[in-house]
Amino acid sequence: MIRRGRFAPTPSGLLHIGNAFTALAAWLQIRQAGGTFIVRIEDIDISRSRVAYAEQQLDDLLWLGLDWDEGPRVGGPFGPYVQSERLPLYEKALERLRAADQLYPCYCRRSELASIASAPHGLSSEGAAYPGFCRSLTDDERRAKAALKEPAWRFRMPERELRFDDGMCGPQSFDGAAMGDFVVKRADGMYGYQLAVTLDDAAIGITDVLRGADLLDSTPRQLALYEALDFGPPAFAHVPLVVDAEGKRLSKRDRSITLASLREDGVAPERLIGALAFLAGWIDRQEPVSARELIPSFSSARTAAKDVLSINDELTKFIRA
């Protein structure tokens, strides 16, 4: 079987060094395996996404030396590779889940959901676990609420333990009942991230999902969707996050660490890649190196030994030297 991996940026801002590390690791994993690498633009949140950012992100990937076999600008047999052009796929899946009673309409208002903001979190990437206010409404109650408000649609999480082996983080276990049911389509018509990414990965034939550790706890929800839709799931691996010298997560709002800024300042991509490879343990000293030269050196085991990758002042000086 030919392995298929992907990098799927959201065009809501400029790529930063942390995004570059995730893209590099995903690319190296698949290139080392002789597989097919795909780029997909995740612009499902149309209000925040910009075409200009998507184009800049693609340019930045090429600047790093990360090419792709399928995706924007090159095409491929599983297109389109832009989420906003795949909406019929999501609606068809919703119809299937509704027919199987895997979804229910949720009429909760933001003020009601705000009351659970201080409750224990089900998944950090989703916020507080939904307590199921609308899960067991009667038909009469739903009709009364529907007369006042357009519903969102929530997926019924299985009330059991969900386990998987992560390629970087090892064996994982989550309590499905404690996570809370999540939104797959908002009241304003926007499809949820968990649904879109699961359907896209399945439709495009992704075998390997390598992404940041901040999405580790999205995996059990996506696995529940794979099961409900009778799709075979990919293998998951979550790499450490890149943080600044103070241990804070990098942000697209900090222009100083964006790839566009580094390019404008004349930084050589090999210096950034060398710094990231040194942090990840793929090379044993700081030195400029190209992405392609790193293919034999990529090691998930060495990367997994890191909690976070910290860009300190010394590495910043090396990158910008």
Binding site: which residues? 6-10, 42, 106, 108, 130, 134, 193, 211, 252
Cβ distance 118 to 195 under 8 Å? no
CA angle 270, 35, 252 (to 5 degrees): 45
**Rounded CA separation 157/176 (Å):** 6
Catalytic choice (145, 149, 248, 252): 252
Which residues participate in the annotated binding site for Zn(2+)? 106, 108, 130, 134
Cβ distance 306 to 279 under 8 Å? yes
- 3 state DSSP class of 105: strand
Cβ distance 172 to 163 under 8 Å? yes
Chain centre distance of CA 165: 18
What DSSP state is assigned to residue 16? B
Look up 252 and say whether it is catalytic: yes
- φ and ψ of 130, to 5 deg: -70, 130
For residue 165, what are the β-bridge partners? Answer: 171
End-to-end Cα spacing for the chain:
43
**Rounded CA separation 176/4 (Å):** 28
**Rounded CA separation 41/230 (Å):** 25
- φ and ψ of 289, to 5 deg: -155, 145
Contacts with 46 (C-beta within 8 Å, 6 or more apart), sequence order: 84, 190
Q: Which residues are designated catalytic?
A: 252
